[in-house]
Amino acid sequence: MASLALATPATAKLTPAEVKMQTAVTTDVPRNEALLERLVLQNSGTLNLAGVRKVGAMVRAELEPLGFQVRWIDMTETGRAGHLIAVHKGDGKGKRVLLIAHLDTVFEPTSTFTGWKKEGTRATGPGSGDDKGGVVVVIAALRAMQAAGTLKAADIEIVMTGDEERSGKPLDVARRDLIAAGKRADVALEYENLATEDGREYGSTARRSSTDWVLTTTGRSGHSSGVFGRTLGYGAIYELARIVDRFRRDLPEPNLTYNVGVMAGGTPATFDRNQLIATATGKPNITAASAVARGDIRALTPEQNARVMAKMQAIVAEHLPGTGAEITFSDGYPSMAPTPGNRAVLAKLNAVNRDLGLPDMTEFDPAKRGAADSSFVAADVDTLAGMGPISGNAHAEGEWVDLASLPRQALRSAVLISRYAGERR
């Protein structure tokens, strides 16, 4: 078996315990790959509640032998399976570290994308990178710490949610336990995929928010010969078009996107109960009575999110003659702003990188990352995202994970967590 020799003797600055971690991670490569295969083969689409619980039970079986107290938080009230929370009580002196991952995937049992296929150092399978690869990195890092003797004194809390891909409602209940864990921690690490571009690896100090919006417009229905006139006005579809076009022209600013995902207009136009399917009927010679659209906003800071929502509301309120409009916003994922504290965590990781003989990581462009659970704790604790393996095709058939990145990410985490555990509060 090849050794995970990341640093040459001339550059290596690892402690004896960290050298033991390096050896342990290398030795455990087959074991960790086998665990990832088992996790991937168990479907855990968010709405497959039994499947999510089974994956949670598999993770419990890995964590309890490491000395973690593991409990399952039932989330039936939100329509979801629940969350796994595991706590390791150390000596109470070092920094308290929160590790975040998720058990669910976007692939429900009806998906045609199934199985596990390994070709060289790449493995393909549903959830292999998002986020079962991240789950394995967490477990592999903790095993390495145990082998090196650094786990014993470490105060660690793990939260693995069961609904990251499709959050349960109400959101304040669905993320209650994660937010509470963030308030207890001194630093948080999130294990979704490592950000890469053109062969370089990056640190994720920020993630943008995700807020859904629904737009409804109304108009006076009548014979189209009277459209634009004093009696009928412009109709609901023209009002919808006006608003959406104003969004396009008036809202742009750095780190902001605002998508329109679905829309329909007619007499009438409606959304289904889940607001995923829009239907409309009408005739070319009748002005539209209603129109609907749904989309999202992604912003870098809470201030940007609030400012953009206010702009959108002002645009909606202007109205063409004979029309009305309303926009509503739903609770979504908050933003994770690039704070000095988050950058300090990246700096500490880069110190680990240098001691391992790896290149420094610069900050990844947050406009290229989606929302994630780390955003729920970032307001309370310094947070670094993207500590999982290299992966690709997330949320699509053909999702893959770079198996060679698993031990590298596990070693980075093992050393980083151990160093935090050794720092006095």
Tokens of 302: 């809470």
pLDDT tens-digit readout, 169-189: 999 999 999 999 999 999 999
pLDDT of res. 413: 98
Q: Check whether 97 has a pLDDT greater than 70.
A: yes
Compute the half-sphere exposure of residue 33: CA atoms within 13 Å on the CB side of its CA: 20
Tokens of 352: 């680990």
pLDDT of res. 336: 95
What are the backbone dihedrals phi and psi of residue 301, each rounded to the nearest 5 degrees, phi first? -135, 160
CB 369, CB 208: distance < 8 Å: yes
Q: Check whether 206 has a pLDDT greater than 70.
A: yes
Tokens of 67: 């000395």
Q: Check whether 10 has a pLDDT greater than 70.
A: no
CB 338, CB 369: distance < 8 Å: no
Strands 69-74 and 82-88: antiparallel
pLDDT of res. 8: 47
Distance CA 257, CA 243 (A): 16
Domain 211-329: CATH architecture, name and number where available:
2-Layer Sandwich (3.30)
Element (H, E) at 172: helix 171-174
Place of tokens 């014979």: 223
CB 41, CB 63: distance < 8 Å: no
pLDDT of res. 275: 83
pLDDT (mean) for 312-327: 98
- pTM score: 0.90
pLDDT tens-digit readout, 282-303: 999 999 999 999 999 999 999 9
CB 78, CB 169: distance < 8 Å: yes
Residues carrying CATH 3.30.70.360, the chain: 211-329
pLDDT of res. 3: 47
In the chain, the amino acid numbered 153 is A
Least confident of 1-15, 232-246, 340-354: 1-15
pLDDT of res. 91: 94
Q: Check whether 144 has a pLDDT greater than 90.
A: yes
Strands 155-161 and 82-88: antiparallel
Tokens of 174: 């669905």
Residues carrying CATH 3.40.630.10, the chain: 16-207+334-421
Read off the pLDDT band of 425 (50, 70, 90).
confident
pLDDT tens-digit readout, 344-402: 999 999 999 999 999 999 999 998 888 899 999 999 999 999 999 999 999 999 999 99
> Which strands sit side by side in the sheet containing 211-219, from one edge to the other?
257-266, 290-298, 211-219, 323-329
**Mean pLDDT, all residues of the chain:** 95
Domain 16-207+334-421: CATH architecture, name and number where available:
3-Layer(aba) Sandwich (3.40)
In the chain, the amino acid numbered 138 is V
pLDDT of res. 370: 82
Distance CA 38, CA 331 (A): 34
pLDDT (mean) for 256-260: 95
> What is the Cα Rg of the chain in Å?
24
- For 25, 117, 199, 214, the CA distances from 120, given in Å and listed in that order, are 19, 10, 18, 46
Read off the pLDDT band of 12 (50, 70, 90).
low
Q: What burial class does residue 91 get, using C-beta atoms within 10 Å of its C-beta: 0-12 exposed, 13-18 middle, 19+ buried?
A: exposed
3-state secondary structure of 190: strand
Distance CA 1, CA 300 (A): 44
